[in-house]
């Protein structure tokens, strides 16, 4: 990596780390102060959003790659499969929000800034980082299937918790409103989107790796 390339890499990492943790911490503050619910419930709801969990992954990636706190952790976050999986998850965040959820509410002020960071700026920034800097050579078509484990576990978690609490973080998984058949059908379509985007990222990664030989 040339000196100019290294500087650009660090600039991406620094920008992503600062924006990521700022957005996550500010969103936590907003969800606590703006909701008349107990703090523990607010915390649980905060960590029930796929957006939050995926942005935490992104912020951790940026932070670990920038500072190299731990060699073993740094190697894990630098793996092509890890970076590609995180790219998949944060791209899904951006796609679903901007295609489906953006028009369901109108955030204002600080909430709007945080909203744009979590759902637009950070997904775009991480995708660019992956395209430009992430290693891609060992990616295989079969990698797409293990990447589905996290969203599947997430779906099971929010459905079980929703059955007891009545809270569903996204309207398309709201069993109380649509019932299980519709929610399962919606979830199936989203899983297809996950799989299709996984194959697209792997294809892009393979194409870039071939050109870099």
Q: What is the CA radius of gyration of the chain?
A: 18
Residue 51, CA distances (Å) to 67, 117, 203 in order:
24, 11, 25
Of the candidate ranges 44-48, 75-79, 84-88, 155-159, the one whose mean pLDDT is the lowest: 75-79
Could you report the per-residue pLDDT of 164-207, keeping only the tens digit for each?
999 999 999 999 999 999 999 999 999 999 999 999 999 999 99
Of the candidate ranges 4-13, 17-26, 84-93, 162-171, the one whose mean pLDDT is the lowest: 4-13
Residue 47's domain comprises: 3-211
Place of tokens 């955030």: 107
Domain count, the chain: 1
**pTM for this prediction:** 0.94
- With both helix axes pointing from N to C terminus, report the angle between 50-67 and 71-78 in degrees, rounded to the nearest 10: 120
pLDDT for residue 6? 85
């Amino acid at each position: 990596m040339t000196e100019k390339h290294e500087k650009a890499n660090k600039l991406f990492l620094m920008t992503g780390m600062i924006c990521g943790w700022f957005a996550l911490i500010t969103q936590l503050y907003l969800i606590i102060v703006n909701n008349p619910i107990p703090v523990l419930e607010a915390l649980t709801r905060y960590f029930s959003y796929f957006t939050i969990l995926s942005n935490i992954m992104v912020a951790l990636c940026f932070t670990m790659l920038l500072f190299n706190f731990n060699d073993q952790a740094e190697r894990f976050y630098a793996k092509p499969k890890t970076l590609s999986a995180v790219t998949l998850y944060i791209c899904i965040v951006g796609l679903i929000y901007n295609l489906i959820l953006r028009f369901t509410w109108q955030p204002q002020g600080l909430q709007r800034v945080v909203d744009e960071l979590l759902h637009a700026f950070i997904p775009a920034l991480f995708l660019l980082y992956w395209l430009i800097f992430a290693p891609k050579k060992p990616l295989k078509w079969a990698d797409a299937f293990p990447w589905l484990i996290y969203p599947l576990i997430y779906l099971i978690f929010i459905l079980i918790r929703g059955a007891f609490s009545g809270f569903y973080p996204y309207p398309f998984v709201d069993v109380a409103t649509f019932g299980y058949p519709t929610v399962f059908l919606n979830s199936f379509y989203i899983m297809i989107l996950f799989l299709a985007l996984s194959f697209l990222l792997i294809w892009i990664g393979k194409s870039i790796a071939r050109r870099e030989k």
